[in-house]
């Protein structure tokens, strides 16, 4: 089965073509980003993101379809015609992120997918972006490496959640952040240190230049007996520290180390607690923060169950994970019933 997947929940316009045989493989994966626009504003302005997506969506779909057949871009008219033929002849279904996310951005992807589904008579599969972060782990991996029940940890710029999965469709939400998400806390610390947005990769790079730091920040609610997180206090702690110190490059690296450590320590502690409590057989991590190698190394070394992370290019937002989720859980819906839902969360809890 071959699927066209579309992801436009935040600032990126992603389109991928995937195939499911014995494993799920990505045949093409194209992403256009408006990051340069957001780097200038130090964060995402929703209307700017959606305006860029309206411009990018068709060219990105066309490019992904052409690439899926090993074809290069030529001229606009030919590319449009060829890609339409590929979609008609070679693609079995269309998957699209229906939420959560920014309403303007989601609408671009959802309305485009609905139009393609209707005009070419292809099944339409709406996908929850958060669950897709977890199912990115199925890409290029034998399905039997995912041992159920597993604990799913979603750590992105907008969400931090722990879930228990008994099967791909039977899951329970255990807890999540009460305020800022893990990635959001990292980005806010980055902004205080005048790092480029999003700050995760640079915070990791700077933290990696040292092996310890005299600067220490608290891991919020690490000792509470629940599966919740809270990261807004960390931002305040970093802000107070930055305001009273003279920030040299060396101290910046120490602050990055301490921020990363404060976030990672609580993520690991609560994930392992969930594994023990529910006798989980594996851990699947997803979301932009899961690209962090220190989190990968430390979580893996602190538990005896297998810990799965997506390949790094599928950790941050991408369309391939949307296709992977739809290939594992193909839940077709009539195009008339598919709507963009910015508040979509976990229905099966």
Q: Which of 292, 323, 338, 344 binds ligand KG4 (CB under 6 A)?
A: 292
CB-CB neighbours of 272 under 10 Å: 18
* Two tokens, residue 153: 């940890």
Q: Does 340 bind ligand KG4 (CB under 6 A)?
A: no
Crossing angle of the two packed helices 200-207 and 293-301, in degrees rounded to 10: 70
Smallest gap, in angstroms, from Cβ of residue 87 to ligand KG4? 27
| Separation CA 311–CA 316 (nearest Å) | 10
> Which residue, 28 or 315, is less far from ligand KG4 as judged by CB?
315
Q: Does 98 bind Zn ion (CB under 5 A)?
A: no
Strands (DSSP E) found in the chain = 2-7, 12-20, 24-33, 93-99, 124-128, 150-155, 160-165, 171-176, 282-286, 307-308
Smallest gap, in angstroms, from Cβ of residue 156 to Zn ion? 4
> Which residue, 60 or 62, is less far from Zn ion as judged by CB?
60
Q: Do 110 and 57 contact (CB within 8 A), yes or no? A: no
> Which residue, 255 or 320, is less far from Zn ion as judged by CB?
320
Within its chain, how far is the Cα of 293 from the centroid?
16
> Which residue, 50 or 116, is less far from ligand KG4 as judged by CB?
50
| Separation CA 199–CA 188 (nearest Å) | 8
Q: What is each CA distance from 231 to 81, 82, 264, in whole angstroms?
A: 49, 48, 11
> Which residue, 126 or 183, is less far from ligand KG4 as judged by CB?
183
CB-CB neighbours of 298 under 10 Å: 16
Contact string 275-314 vs Zn ion (x = CB under 5 A): ----------------------------------------
> Which residue, 33 or 339, is less far from ligand KG4 as judged by CB?
33
> Which residue, 62 or 190, is less far from ligand KG4 as judged by CB?
190
Q: Do 271 and 299 contact (CB within 8 A), yes or no? A: yes
* Segment 9 to 28, residues that bind ligand KG4, using CB under 6 A: 10
- Candidate segments 92-100, 151-159, 212-220, 305-313, binder of Zn ion by CB under 5 A: 151-159
Q: Which of 83, 156, 219, 292 binds Zn ion (CB under 5 A)?
A: 156
Q: Do 286 and 315 contact (CB within 8 A), yes or no? A: yes
| Separation CA 80–CA 59 (nearest Å) | 9
| Separation CA 28–CA 71 (nearest Å) | 11
Q: Do 289 and 154 contact (CB within 8 A), yes or no? A: no
Smallest gap, in angstroms, from Cβ of residue 85 to ligand KG4? 33
Q: Which of 99, 109, 126, 157 binds ligand KG4 (CB under 6 A)?
A: 157
C-alpha angle 231-282-292 in degrees, rounded to nearest 5:
40
Smallest gap, in angstroms, from Cβ of residue 186 to ligand KG4? 5
CB-CB neighbours of 313 under 10 Å: 14
Q: Does 275 bind ligand KG4 (CB under 6 A)?
A: no
* Segment 165 to 184, residues that bind ligand KG4, using CB under 6 A: 183
Smallest gap, in angstroms, from Cβ of residue 157 to ligand KG4? 3
Q: Does 201 bind ligand KG4 (CB under 6 A)?
A: yes
- Site for ligand KG4 (CB under 6 A): how many residues? 19
Smallest gap, in angstroms, from Cβ of residue 316 to ligand KG4? 3
| Separation CA 63–CA 176 (nearest Å) | 37
- Candidate segments 49-57, 164-172, 202-210, 316-324, binder of Zn ion by CB under 5 A: 316-324
Q: Does 105 bind ligand KG4 (CB under 6 A)?
A: no
Site of interaction with ligand KG4 (CB under 6 A): 10, 156-158, 183, 186-187, 198-201, 204, 287-289, 291-292, 316-317
């Amino acid at each position: 089965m071959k699927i066209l997947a579309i992801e436009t929940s935040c600032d990126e316009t992603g389109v991928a073509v995937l195939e499911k045989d014995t494993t799920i493989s990505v045949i093409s994966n194209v992403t256009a980003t408006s990051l340069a626009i957001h780097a200038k504003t130090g964060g995402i302005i929703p209307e700017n993101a959606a305006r860029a997506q309206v411009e990018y969506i068709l060219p990105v779909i066309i490019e992904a379809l052409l690439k899926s057949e090993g074809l290069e871009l030529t001229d606009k008219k030919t590319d449009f015609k060829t890609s339409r033929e590929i979609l008609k002849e070679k693609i079995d279904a269309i998957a699209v992120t229906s939420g959560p996310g920014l309403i303007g951005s989601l609408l671009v992807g959802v309305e485009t997918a609905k139009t393609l589904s209707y005009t070419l008579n292809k099944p339409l599969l709406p996908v929850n972006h958060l669950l897709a972060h977890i199912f990115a782990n199925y890409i290029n991996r034998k399905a039997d490496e995912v041992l159920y029940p597993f604990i799913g940890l979603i750590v992105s710029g907008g969400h931090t959640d722990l879930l228990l999965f008994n099967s791909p469709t039977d899951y329970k939400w255990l807890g999540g952040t009460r305020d800022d998400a893990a990635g959001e806390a990292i980005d806010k610390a980055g902004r205080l240190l005048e790092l480029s947005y999003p700050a995760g990769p640079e915070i990791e790079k700077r933290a990696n230049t040292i092996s310890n730091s005299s600067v220490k920040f608290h891991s919020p609610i690490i000792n509470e007996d629940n599966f919740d997180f809270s990261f807004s206090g960390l931002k305040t702690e970093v802000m107070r520290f930055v305001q009273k110190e003279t920030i040299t490059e060396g101290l910046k690296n120490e602050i990055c180390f301490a921020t990363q450590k404060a976030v990672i320590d609580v993520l690991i502690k609560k994930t392992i607690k969930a594994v023990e409590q529910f006798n989980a057989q594996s851990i699947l991590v997803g979301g932009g923060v899961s690209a962090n190698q220190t989190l990968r190394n430390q979580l893996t070394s602190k538990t005896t169950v297998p810990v799965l992370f997506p390949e790094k290019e599928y950790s941050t937002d991408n369309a391939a994970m949307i296709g992977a989720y739809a290939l594992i859980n193909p839940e077709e819906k009539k195009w008339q019933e598919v709507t963009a839902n910015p508040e979509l969360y976990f229905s099966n809890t």
